[in-house]
Amino acid sequence: MTKIALITGANKGIGFETARQLARAGGIHVLLASRDLSKGTAAALQLQGEGLDVTAVGLDVTDPASIAAAVKAIDAKYGRVDILINNAGINPQDGTRKVSEQHLATWREVFETNLFALIAVTQAFLPMLKKSDAGRIVNLSSVLASMTLHSDPTSGIYDFKIPAYNVSKTAVNAWTVQLAYELRDTPIKVNAAHPGYVKTDMGGPSAPMEIVDGAKTSVALALLDARGPNGAFIHMGETLPW
Ligand SMILES: NC(=O)c1ccc[n+]([C@@H]2O[C@H](COP(=O)([O-])OP(=O)(O)OC[C@H]3O[C@@H](n4cnc5c(N)ncnc54)[C@H](OP(=O)(O)O)[C@@H]3O)[C@@H](O)[C@H]2O)c1
Protein backbone atom coordinates (compact mmCIF):
# COMPACT_ATOMS: atom_id res chain seq x y z
CA MET A 1 0.00 0.00 0.00
CA THR A 2 1.29 3.47 -0.90
CA LYS A 3 2.48 5.38 2.17
CA ILE A 4 1.30 8.92 2.83
CA ALA A 5 4.02 11.38 3.91
CA LEU A 6 3.34 14.94 5.07
CA ILE A 7 6.24 17.42 5.18
CA THR A 8 5.75 20.91 6.65
CA GLY A 9 7.59 23.92 5.23
CA ALA A 10 8.38 21.93 2.10
CA ASN A 11 8.16 24.64 -0.56
CA LYS A 12 11.93 25.24 -0.36
CA GLY A 13 15.15 24.27 1.36
CA ILE A 14 15.58 21.00 3.24
CA GLY A 15 11.83 20.30 3.26
CA PHE A 16 11.59 20.53 -0.54
CA GLU A 17 14.57 18.23 -1.05
CA THR A 18 13.15 15.82 1.55
CA ALA A 19 9.92 15.72 -0.49
CA ARG A 20 11.92 14.89 -3.60
CA GLN A 21 14.00 12.13 -1.96
CA LEU A 22 11.03 10.53 -0.20
CA ALA A 23 9.01 10.48 -3.42
CA ARG A 24 12.01 9.01 -5.25
CA ALA A 25 12.22 6.23 -2.65
CA GLY A 26 9.05 4.83 -4.22
CA GLY A 27 5.75 3.66 -2.74
CA ILE A 28 5.22 7.01 -1.05
CA HIS A 29 2.75 9.76 -1.91
CA VAL A 30 4.24 13.01 -0.63
CA LEU A 31 2.03 15.82 0.63
CA LEU A 32 4.22 18.89 0.20
CA ALA A 33 2.90 21.39 2.74
CA SER A 34 3.54 25.13 2.68
CA ARG A 35 1.97 28.16 4.33
CA ASP A 36 1.75 29.92 0.95
CA LEU A 37 -0.14 27.48 -1.24
CA SER A 38 1.01 29.16 -4.45
CA LYS A 39 4.65 28.49 -3.51
CA GLY A 40 3.81 24.92 -2.53
CA THR A 41 1.93 24.34 -5.76
CA ALA A 42 4.88 25.61 -7.82
CA ALA A 43 7.23 23.35 -5.83
CA ALA A 44 4.94 20.33 -6.25
CA LEU A 45 4.65 21.02 -10.00
CA GLN A 46 8.43 20.98 -10.25
CA LEU A 47 8.61 17.57 -8.58
CA GLN A 48 5.68 16.25 -10.63
CA GLY A 49 7.69 17.35 -13.67
CA GLU A 50 10.44 15.01 -12.44
CA GLY A 51 7.86 12.19 -12.50
CA LEU A 52 7.34 12.16 -8.73
CA ASP A 53 4.15 11.44 -6.78
CA VAL A 54 3.69 14.75 -4.95
CA THR A 55 0.67 16.92 -4.09
CA ALA A 56 0.69 20.43 -2.59
CA VAL A 57 -1.19 21.10 0.66
CA GLY A 58 -1.70 24.46 2.36
CA LEU A 59 -0.52 24.42 5.99
CA ASP A 60 0.57 27.35 8.13
CA VAL A 61 1.82 25.52 11.20
CA THR A 62 1.18 28.51 13.51
CA ASP A 63 -2.47 28.85 12.45
CA PRO A 64 -4.90 26.46 14.21
CA ALA A 65 -7.53 26.97 11.50
CA SER A 66 -5.00 26.06 8.80
CA ILE A 67 -3.98 22.92 10.73
CA ALA A 68 -7.62 21.92 11.19
CA ALA A 69 -8.35 22.44 7.48
CA ALA A 70 -5.33 20.33 6.47
CA VAL A 71 -6.34 17.54 8.86
CA LYS A 72 -9.87 17.56 7.45
CA ALA A 73 -8.74 17.50 3.83
CA ILE A 74 -6.08 14.81 4.33
CA ASP A 75 -8.36 12.64 6.46
CA ALA A 76 -11.13 12.85 3.86
CA LYS A 77 -8.80 11.98 0.98
CA TYR A 78 -6.34 9.49 2.49
CA GLY A 79 -7.67 8.55 5.95
CA ARG A 80 -4.21 8.15 7.44
CA VAL A 81 -0.68 9.52 7.56
CA ASP A 82 2.34 7.20 7.69
CA ILE A 83 5.12 9.80 7.87
CA LEU A 84 5.02 13.27 9.42
CA ILE A 85 8.10 15.43 8.99
CA ASN A 86 7.94 18.54 11.17
CA ASN A 87 10.36 20.54 9.06
CA ALA A 88 9.02 24.12 9.14
CA GLY A 89 11.24 26.37 11.22
CA ILE A 90 12.45 29.94 11.59
CA ASN A 91 15.49 31.75 12.91
CA PRO A 92 14.78 35.48 12.89
CA GLN A 93 17.38 36.34 15.53
CA ASP A 94 19.78 39.24 15.58
CA GLY A 95 23.08 37.40 15.85
CA THR A 96 24.90 40.53 17.02
CA ARG A 97 22.87 40.76 20.23
CA LYS A 98 24.16 39.17 23.43
CA VAL A 99 22.39 36.11 24.81
CA SER A 100 20.90 38.21 27.59
CA GLU A 101 19.70 40.93 25.21
CA GLN A 102 17.58 38.99 22.71
CA HIS A 103 14.10 40.49 22.74
CA LEU A 104 11.43 38.52 24.52
CA ALA A 105 9.23 39.04 21.46
CA THR A 106 11.83 37.15 19.42
CA TRP A 107 11.86 34.29 21.94
CA ARG A 108 8.07 34.07 21.70
CA GLU A 109 8.08 34.23 17.88
CA VAL A 110 10.70 31.49 17.57
CA PHE A 111 9.03 29.23 20.11
CA GLU A 112 5.65 29.74 18.43
CA THR A 113 6.88 28.24 15.15
CA ASN A 114 9.71 25.92 16.19
CA LEU A 115 8.09 24.35 19.26
CA PHE A 116 4.40 25.11 19.86
CA ALA A 117 3.41 24.76 16.19
CA LEU A 118 5.37 21.51 15.93
CA ILE A 119 3.47 20.15 18.94
CA ALA A 120 0.14 21.42 17.57
CA VAL A 121 0.71 19.78 14.17
CA THR A 122 1.78 16.53 15.83
CA GLN A 123 -1.26 16.48 18.12
CA ALA A 124 -3.55 17.15 15.17
CA PHE A 125 -2.12 14.39 12.96
CA LEU A 126 -1.48 11.77 15.65
CA PRO A 127 -4.90 10.13 15.22
CA MET A 128 -4.09 9.58 11.53
CA LEU A 129 -0.55 8.38 12.32
CA LYS A 130 -2.10 5.82 14.67
CA LYS A 131 -3.94 4.36 11.67
CA SER A 132 -0.59 3.55 10.03
CA ASP A 133 1.11 0.15 10.38
CA ALA A 134 4.41 1.92 11.08
CA GLY A 135 4.00 5.63 11.75
CA ARG A 136 7.13 7.77 11.67
CA ILE A 137 7.49 11.30 13.06
CA VAL A 138 10.64 13.27 12.28
CA ASN A 139 11.24 16.52 14.17
CA LEU A 140 13.76 18.89 12.62
CA SER A 141 16.10 19.82 15.42
CA SER A 142 19.68 21.09 15.16
CA VAL A 143 23.06 20.29 16.63
CA LEU A 144 22.64 23.76 18.14
CA ALA A 145 20.06 22.13 20.45
CA SER A 146 22.78 20.16 22.22
CA MET A 147 23.30 21.30 25.81
CA THR A 148 26.26 18.94 26.11
CA LEU A 149 28.07 20.57 23.17
CA HIS A 150 27.07 24.10 24.21
CA SER A 151 28.68 23.44 27.61
CA ASP A 152 31.93 22.15 26.09
CA PRO A 153 34.45 24.90 25.21
CA THR A 154 36.18 22.48 22.80
CA SER A 155 33.05 21.80 20.74
CA GLY A 156 32.58 23.38 17.32
CA ILE A 157 29.26 25.00 18.31
CA TYR A 158 30.47 26.49 21.61
CA ASP A 159 30.46 30.05 20.24
CA PHE A 160 27.15 29.71 18.31
CA LYS A 161 24.93 31.15 21.00
CA ILE A 162 21.74 32.19 19.20
CA PRO A 163 19.65 31.48 22.26
CA ALA A 164 15.99 31.60 21.20
CA TYR A 165 16.62 29.35 18.20
CA ASN A 166 18.97 27.02 20.08
CA VAL A 167 16.71 26.66 23.11
CA SER A 168 13.64 26.14 20.91
CA LYS A 169 15.44 23.18 19.32
CA THR A 170 16.54 21.90 22.75
CA ALA A 171 12.85 21.96 23.65
CA VAL A 172 12.02 20.08 20.42
CA ASN A 173 14.47 17.39 21.54
CA ALA A 174 12.89 17.25 24.99
CA TRP A 175 9.39 17.02 23.46
CA THR A 176 10.63 14.22 21.19
CA VAL A 177 11.78 12.19 24.22
CA GLN A 178 8.52 12.81 26.07
CA LEU A 179 6.37 11.77 23.08
CA ALA A 180 8.58 8.76 22.35
CA TYR A 181 7.84 7.54 25.87
CA GLU A 182 4.09 7.77 25.28
CA LEU A 183 4.41 5.94 21.95
CA ARG A 184 6.95 3.33 23.09
CA ASP A 185 4.56 0.37 22.84
CA THR A 186 3.01 1.46 19.52
CA PRO A 187 4.27 1.03 15.93
CA ILE A 188 5.02 4.79 15.83
CA LYS A 189 8.58 6.07 16.17
CA VAL A 190 9.44 9.72 16.81
CA ASN A 191 12.97 11.03 16.45
CA ALA A 192 14.82 14.33 16.23
CA ALA A 193 17.04 15.08 13.22
CA HIS A 194 20.02 17.36 12.84
CA PRO A 195 20.17 17.86 9.07
CA GLY A 196 23.69 19.34 9.04
CA TYR A 197 24.73 22.93 8.48
CA VAL A 198 23.06 23.29 5.10
CA LYS A 199 23.11 25.85 2.27
CA THR A 200 19.50 27.09 2.42
CA ASP A 201 17.91 30.48 2.97
CA MET A 202 18.28 29.77 6.70
CA GLY A 203 21.77 28.23 6.61
CA GLY A 204 23.15 30.83 4.21
CA PRO A 205 25.50 30.46 1.24
CA SER A 206 28.61 29.71 3.30
CA ALA A 207 27.12 26.61 4.98
CA PRO A 208 29.27 23.58 4.12
CA MET A 209 26.56 21.03 3.32
CA GLU A 210 24.60 20.83 0.07
CA ILE A 211 20.80 20.56 0.31
CA VAL A 212 20.87 17.11 -1.26
CA ASP A 213 22.83 15.86 1.78
CA GLY A 214 20.87 18.02 4.24
CA ALA A 215 17.70 16.04 3.48
CA LYS A 216 19.28 12.63 4.06
CA THR A 217 18.82 12.42 7.83
CA SER A 218 15.12 13.31 7.62
CA VAL A 219 14.60 10.74 4.86
CA ALA A 220 16.44 8.01 6.77
CA LEU A 221 14.39 8.62 9.93
CA ALA A 222 11.17 8.67 7.89
CA LEU A 223 12.05 5.27 6.42
CA LEU A 224 13.24 3.54 9.63
CA ASP A 225 12.25 -0.08 9.91
CA ALA A 226 10.81 -1.64 13.08
CA ARG A 227 14.30 -2.08 14.58
CA GLY A 228 15.06 1.63 14.34
CA PRO A 229 15.37 3.98 17.33
CA ASN A 230 12.54 5.80 19.09
CA GLY A 231 13.25 9.06 20.94
CA ALA A 232 16.75 9.53 19.49
CA PHE A 233 18.68 12.59 18.26
CA ILE A 234 20.37 11.66 14.98
CA HIS A 235 22.60 13.12 12.28
CA MET A 236 23.52 10.94 9.30
CA GLY A 237 23.02 7.72 11.26
CA GLU A 238 25.02 8.89 14.28
CA THR A 239 23.52 9.66 17.68
CA LEU A 240 24.20 13.21 18.90
CA PRO A 241 24.60 14.18 22.56
CA TRP A 242 21.56 15.86 24.16
N1 LIG B 1 19.84 25.04 7.15
C2 LIG B 1 20.50 24.59 8.21
O3 LIG B 1 21.75 24.66 8.28
C4 LIG B 1 19.75 23.93 9.34
C5 LIG B 1 20.51 23.39 10.40
C6 LIG B 1 19.86 22.76 11.45
C7 LIG B 1 18.48 22.66 11.44
N8 LIG B 1 17.76 23.21 10.40
C9 LIG B 1 16.29 23.08 10.46
O10 LIG B 1 15.81 22.46 9.28
C11 LIG B 1 14.48 22.93 8.98
C12 LIG B 1 14.44 23.43 7.53
O13 LIG B 1 15.36 24.52 7.45
P14 LIG B 1 15.86 25.15 6.06
O15 LIG B 1 17.30 25.41 6.21
O16 LIG B 1 15.35 24.35 4.91
O17 LIG B 1 15.11 26.58 6.14
P18 LIG B 1 14.42 27.48 5.02
O19 LIG B 1 15.05 27.30 3.70
O20 LIG B 1 14.36 28.84 5.65
O21 LIG B 1 12.94 26.86 4.96
C22 LIG B 1 12.09 26.93 6.06
C23 LIG B 1 10.72 26.44 5.64
O24 LIG B 1 9.84 26.58 6.78
C25 LIG B 1 8.69 27.25 6.33
N26 LIG B 1 7.95 27.90 7.41
C27 LIG B 1 8.35 28.86 8.26
N28 LIG B 1 7.33 29.23 9.06
C29 LIG B 1 6.25 28.47 8.68
C30 LIG B 1 4.91 28.40 9.10
N31 LIG B 1 4.42 29.18 10.07
N32 LIG B 1 4.10 27.48 8.50
C33 LIG B 1 4.55 26.69 7.52
N34 LIG B 1 5.81 26.74 7.05
C35 LIG B 1 6.65 27.63 7.63
C36 LIG B 1 9.18 28.22 5.28
O37 LIG B 1 8.10 28.71 4.51
P38 LIG B 1 8.21 30.14 3.70
O39 LIG B 1 8.95 29.87 2.43
O40 LIG B 1 6.77 30.51 3.49
O41 LIG B 1 8.94 31.11 4.61
C42 LIG B 1 10.11 27.30 4.52
O43 LIG B 1 9.36 26.48 3.65
C44 LIG B 1 14.19 24.02 10.02
O45 LIG B 1 13.41 23.46 11.06
C46 LIG B 1 15.55 24.41 10.53
O47 LIG B 1 15.52 24.94 11.84
C48 LIG B 1 18.36 23.84 9.36
- Per-residue confidence (pLDDT) for residue 184, from 0 to 100: 98
Separation of CA 185 and ligand 1 centre (Å): 31
- Per-residue confidence (pLDDT) for residue 115, from 0 to 100: 99
Separation of CA 202 and ligand 1 centre (Å): 7
Write out the H or E segment, with its range, that includes residue 193: strand 189-193
- Per-residue confidence (pLDDT) for residue 96, from 0 to 100: 85
Contact 195, 217 (CB under 8 A): yes
Separation of CA 195 and ligand 1 centre (Å): 11
How many Å apart are CA 151 and CA 13, to the nearest integer?
Answer: 30
Query: Which of 117, 120, 124, 204 lies closest to 168 in space, CA to CA?
Result: 117
- Per-residue confidence (pLDDT) for residue 94, from 0 to 100: 79
How many Å apart are CA 139 and CA 136, to the nearest integer?
Answer: 10
How far the first Cα of the chain sits from its last, in Å, is 36
- From first to last of its 242 residues, the chain has per-residue pLDDT tens of 899 999 999 999 999 999 999 999 999 999 999 999 999 999 999 999 999 999 999 999 999 999 999 999 999 999 999 999 999 999 998 788 999 999 999 999 999 999 999 999 999 999 999 999 999 999 999 999 999 999 999 999 999 999 999 999 999 999 999 999 999 999 999 999 999 999 999 999 999 999 999 999 999 999 999 999 999 999 999 999 99
**Quick check: is 199 catalytic?**
no
Ligand 1: residue whose CA is nearest its atom 1: 203
Q: Is the CB of 199 under 6 A from ligand 1?
A: no
How many Å apart are CA 43 and CA 235, to the nearest integer?
Answer: 26
Q: Is the CB of 12 under 6 A from ligand 1?
A: yes
- Per-residue confidence (pLDDT) for residue 93, from 0 to 100: 85
Ligand 1: residue whose CA is nearest its atom 21: 13
- Per-residue confidence (pLDDT) for residue 26, from 0 to 100: 93
The active-site residue, picked from 12, 98, 130, 169, is 169
Q: Is the CB of 29 under 6 A from ligand 1?
A: no
Task: State which of 6, 8, 11, 14 you would mutate to test the pocket of ligand 1, scoring each by most atoms of that ligand within 8 A of its C-beta.
Answer: 14
Ligand 1: residue whose CA is nearest its atom 11: 87
- Per-residue confidence (pLDDT) for residue 30, from 0 to 100: 99
In 43-101, beta strands by DSSP E: 54-58, 83-86
- Per-residue confidence (pLDDT) for residue 95, from 0 to 100: 80
Identify any residues that bridge with 97 across adjacent strands, giving them in sequence order: none
